[in-house]
Amino acid sequence: YRKANPSDAPIMILTLTSESWSQGKLYDFASTQLAQTIAQIDGVGDVDVGGSSLPAVRVGLNPQALFNQGVSLDEVREAIDSANVRRPQGAIEDSVHRWQIQTNDELKTAAEYQPLIIHYNNGAAVRLGRSG
């Protein structure tokens, strides 16, 4: 449910820059923390974040190596999805406010994906970094 009229003009536009954070990290901060904080202000009907994209890691796969190890593309996708989860952990409340606590268990770098187990072959773990 949104409390905003889509034909209304925005009343505030913010631009974020940093000499130490990448554009992806700024966008992640804006979309997960800043926008949520602004949305909790009384009278704010909608918060949109744009202008960049979330950080991403590209995974290159060797289909023949996966086949040789008995690994399907769906298993790889499921392992990556399972490793990148945002889970609610609870809430903090006072008499007026309620803040949801959420952990970010996402993998952020290619090196963090290397040891990810994508399959078991005869009891031995097949790791993403060794799959091709």
What band does 132 get if pLDDT is binned at 50, 70 and 90? low
Q: How many domains does the chain have?
A: 2
pLDDT in tens, 12-40: 888 898 999 888 888 888 988 999 999 88
Write the CA distances from 27 to 66, 75, 102, 109, 128, integer angstroms: 34, 30, 18, 16, 27
Kindly state whether residues 121 and 75 are assigned to the same domain. Answer: yes
Unique residue bearing structure tokens 């602004």? 38
Average pLDDT over residues 96-100: 81
Residue 93 binned pLDDT confidence (cut-offs 50, 70, 90): confident
Listed residues 27, 56, 85: the one ending a domain: 56
Give me the percent of the chain exceeding a pLDDT of 90.
Answer: 20
70 and 129 assigned to the same domain: yes
My answer on whether 83 and 51 are in the same domain is no
Same structural domain, 64 and 116: yes
Say yes or no: 68 and 18 in one domain.
Answer: no
Domain that holds residue 86: 57-132
Q: Per-residue confidence at 86, pLDDT binned at 50, 70, 90?
A: low
Q: Are residues 63 and 48 in the same domain?
A: no
pLDDT score of 102:
66
pLDDT of residue 6: 72
